[in-house]
Amino acid sequence: MTKICLYFQVHQPFRLSSFNYFSRGSEYFNEAKNKAIFNKVADKCYIPTTRKLIELVRAHPEFKVSFSFSGLLMEQALKYRPEVIEVYRELYNTGNMDILNETYYHSLAYLISDEEFKEQVRIHRNLIKDIFGHRALIFRNTEAMLSNDMAQKVENMGYKGIVGEGWDKILGWRSPNYIYQPNGSDIKLLLRNYRLSDDIGFRFSTPDWREYPLTADKYALWLASTQGQTINLFLDYETFGEHQWKETGIFDFLEYLPKEVAKYPHLKWAKISELVDMESKDRVDVPQILSWADIDRDLSAWLGNKMQDCAFRNMKELGPLILKSEDKELIDIWRKLQTSDHFYYMCTKWFADGDIHKYFNTYMNPYEAYSNYMNILNNLKEKLGLNPVKSKAV
């Protein structure tokens, strides 16, 4: 028996307003843009894909899915498009949908402090309880960050499993299709099969891929011929309708998948929390933080260049003062500035080499992203009575 876990990550950041060096405003987040993008993605992906999943679950009662929503995604849904919450609730109420916890702010809070990390997880847990009445057993850190230490902390917070990338460097000769435990704790590692996941997420509509076009029957055959306890297909939800447009046939693929998988009796759909009942095969060592990003699978998409490190450090340094203020609105702004996307926009590692096709950005380039972030941070600092970041020559 091989389980198949289909899990989707859903997130939208609060994109920043455009700030000049000397801007005086306090509207840090671009309401109009965030609303427009949210509605666009809701129409192309969230609503149609979730409706499709509801149909599929009704037609195939054995079909199960799992979801992780950032708090910011839910906040924007509540604000701009409550219908999105409605369809997710409807899917949840079928009983075939599982939900994970993560940091509410889709943040790098783990790198700020334990207290900040735990607090943002607590806020997320309450949100999921409020909206779905669900208590999550599985945790996923932002961008699937994972390390031995992190796993231990997450176990101590009461979680039974943590999501990670099934990356060759930690697995060595071992397959991602088994349950493992990290060094130092007994929490179960749920590792992504990145090859089979990326076949859908990235390669699906690539005409020069030798498997193009990917059909549900072919894919089900691949699943059926894969050895292991579980095949973890972890995908960005926007794969459906946004990264892969409707015209690529991605919805047809999804539609036929349960039917094709049903042809193989040894394959069984599972919710992500059902995986932790299985026995661990081995220990895996993850001394450094692993992520699911690009070819490096580390933190270098968010931190590492001078701009990213400086922006993160300056944001982090504001923490004690802001938290002491107990000003809820201010704390919320500070946490929204922790969202990983802001730091990703400052990434130069593909951009500087001119390989801008690999690069998705709401800004024209990483320098604009950094300047804008720093202009906002300076504005915030001035409001707090602190000295803004400046060269000393003045």
Partner 1 sequence: MRVLMVGWEFPPYVSGGLGTHTYELTRKMPHDVNITFFMPDRGEVSVPWMDIKRIKTSIGFGPYMTFGGSVLKESIIKSVEDYAKEVGKTAKQTDFDIVHCHDWLTVMGGICAKRENGKPLVFTVHSTEYDRSIGNPCPWVMDIERYGINEADGIIAVSKRIKEQIIEKYGADPGKIRVVYNAIDSSSFDCGLKFKPTEDLILSLGRLTLHKGIDHLLRAAKIVIEHHPSAKFVIAGKGDKFKDLVEMSIDLGIEKNVFFLGYVPQEDITKLYARADVFLMPSVFEPFGITALEAMAAGTPTIISKTSGVCEVTNNVFKIDFWDTEKMASRILEILNYKELFEEMSNNCRSEAKRITWDDIAMQTKDFYESVLR
> Contact with partner 1 (CB under 8 A): which of 1, 36, 78, 352?
352
By beta-carbon proximity to partner 1, the closer residue of 1 and 389 is: 389
Minimum distance from CB of 206 to partner 1 (Å)? 24
> Contact with partner 1 (CB under 8 A): which of 269, 348, 379, 380?
348
How do strand 97-99 and strand 65-69 relate by DSSP bridges? parallel
- For 385: left if phi > 0, alpha if psi spans -120 to 50, otherwise beta; the answer is left
**Contact flag: residue 356 with partner 1 (CB under 8 A):** yes
> Contact with partner 1 (CB under 8 A): which of 207, 265, 354, 385?
354
143 flagged as catalytic: yes
Minimum distance from CB of 361 to partner 1 (Å)? 11
**Residue 158 to residues 5, 39, 135, 161, 182, Cα–Cα distance (Å):** 22, 35, 11, 9, 16
Active-site hit among 102, 143, 238, 274: 143
By beta-carbon proximity to partner 1, the closer residue of 100 and 346 is: 346
Cβ atoms of 326 and 318 closer than 8 Å: no
Cβ atoms of 275 and 5 closer than 8 Å: yes
Give the relative orientation of helices 71-80 and 31-41 as an angle to the nearest 10 degrees.
90
Distance CA 73, CA 142 (A): 13
Judged by DSSP in three states, 189 sits in: strand
Minimum distance from CB of 340 to partner 1 (Å)? 19
- Of 126, 168, 163, 157, the C-alpha closest to 145 is 163
- Of 318, 322, 325, the C-alpha closest to 374 is 318
**What mask, x for binding partner 1 by CB under 8 A, covers residues 148 to 187?**
----------------------------------------
Site for partner 1 in 253-312 (CB under 8 A): 305-307, 309-310
**What mask, x for binding partner 1 by CB under 8 A, covers residues 358 to 377?**
------xxxxx-xx--xx--
Minimum distance from CB of 354 to partner 1 (Å)? 6
> Contact with partner 1 (CB under 8 A): which of 29, 202, 264, 351?
351
* Bridge partners (DSSP) listed for residue 93: none
**Contact flag: residue 379 with partner 1 (CB under 8 A):** no
Exposure string of 323-345, with b = 16+ CB inside 10 Å and e = fewer, is beeeeeebebbbbbbbbbbbbbb
Distance CA 394, CA 391 (A): 7
CB atoms inside a 10 Å sphere around CB 279: 8
**What mask, x for binding partner 1 by CB under 8 A, covers residues 18 to 57?**
--xxx-----------------------------------
Query: Is 390 exposed, middle or buried, given 0-12, 13-18 or 19+ CB atoms closer than 10 A?
Result: exposed
**What mask, x for binding partner 1 by CB under 8 A, covers residues 198 to 237?**
----------------------------------------
* Amino acid in position 140: R
Binding site for partner 1 (CB under 8 A): 20-22, 305-307, 309-310, 348, 351-352, 354, 356, 364-368, 370-371, 374-375, 389-391, 393-394
Question: Hey, which residues are catalytic here?
Answer: 143
